[in-house]
Amino acid sequence: MLEELKQAVYKANMELPKKNLVKYTWGNVSGIDRNKGLFVIKPSGIDYSLLKPEDLVVVDLEGNQVEGKYCPSSDTATHLELYKAFSKIGAIVHTHSLWATIWAQAGRSIPCYGTTQADCFYGEIPCTRELTAEEIEKNYEKNTGLVIVETFRKKNPLYLPGVLCISHGPFAWGKDPAEAVYNSVVIEQCAKMAYHTEALNHNIIQINQILLDKHFLRKHGENAYYGQI
């Protein structure tokens, strides 16, 4: 079932340690087949060195396991809420990558200081609010997804393809698993760059809006012209 999607999700999962985004089992990738209403996700707690495509788990949009010998990722309920709320995304990545997690633990959004971030994110990468005690104690993973959705009530998830969960770490998404991993790499790189930028210049302000518009929209806008047509 969903063999082609499994291969794409497997390949994306295997990119995470290669890109130095995960240690041990601290991450997961999923991808969705919108026509079938099913998504494929990494199983919980399986080391990347042991992971095989056939180990991936298929889940429906009610959260039911449809296929797989292992339990799905403990973050499955978070992925589910994002797929339900963001109808145009095709894949999700969660990691505890070093620099992005530092910003998440600090409870700070990542400001957009330059064109590297502006090429992929239309402004700062937001950080969620803290979950309440009740949200943590009951349906924690689902509520993690819901607080991300809440953070994006007035934001376009296609223009800001990632978020920091406070005290936790980054989630990113894209049209497919490869793009979701790409956006995860961008978040990590921008987190590192922003940290050092602030260390060098305590009075730094975010990128000029005109320059932000130019860099983001030339790649993602209606009249985009970056790359080969």
Catalytic positions are 119, 226
Of the candidates 36, 68, 71, 75, the one whose C-alpha atom is nearest the C-alpha of residue 53 is 68
| CA dihedral (123, 162, 221, 227) positive or negative | positive
Coil, strand, or helix at residue 183? helix
C-alpha 92 chain-centroid distance = 5
| Strands across the sheet containing 27-33 | 65-67, 57-60, 38-41, 27-33, 91-95, 169-174, 162-165
